[in-house]
Structure formats: structure tokens, C-alpha cells
Amino acid sequence: MALTHENCPCMETCPLNRALGLIGGKWKMQILCSLYNNGPTRYNQLKKTLDGVSNTVLANALRELENDGLVLRREYLEVPVRVEYAITKPCEQLIPILDQLGNWSMGL
């Protein structure tokens, strides 16, 4: 199937450009893959799985992913408060695409 978007991927309105904007960045795909593989995860545990990510970068990426509807932040009213992050249904649809992209890169 060929891309049919005129001037793709340069145009701001291009769906491919939008998709890459949602998952682009140094850590977003790693965050999504970790949450997919490990299920709902607390912040500190997620940080441990992502070797080298700073608190600021992780917090910003999680906030962006949550705002874009790919990650769900669930807060439990316990003492101390427990917060877990998990992927959403739209993100579950994205995972096979990321898997195919990874498989494609192995063939290069």
C-alpha cells in the first residue's frame, strides 16, 4: 500500500507527521513498550526500566503521552499516594505497528 498524502511527510496536516509527533522523541516509544510489556507501572519502577532517563524528561514525556491519550495515569488514594501508568486502548492498537516497524528495521 503506497502513501497517498500529497507532499508527505512534510505537511503539518499529514497523518504520518501527526503520528510521528505523538510518539517521537528520545524516550516515548521506550516508555510505551515498557508499559505494554510490564503492565501498569509506578513511576520509580518505570524509571528503573529506562536506563539513563532523567526525572524531568520522564515526567514531561508521561504528561505528553497522557495528554495525547496514549497513557493513562491512575492515582490511588492511599497513604502514601500510589500512582500507576498504563497504556490506553488507542495505544494497544499502536503496539503492533511499532512491532512491525521494528521488524522492518531488522531487514535493513
With CA atoms as reference, report the closest residue to 87 among 101, 100, 75, 69: 69
pTM of the model: 0.85
Domains of the chain as residue ranges with CATH: 23-106 (1.10.10.10)
Write the pLDDT tens digit of every residue in 40-98: 999 999 999 999 999 999 999 999 999 999 999 999 999 999 999 999 999 999 999 99
With CA atoms as reference, report the closest residue to 45 among 95, 4, 93, 82: 82
Query: How far, in whole angstroms, is CA 20 from its chain's centroid?
Result: 11
How far CA 82 is from CA of 8, 10, 48, 85, in Å, comes to: 43, 42, 17, 10
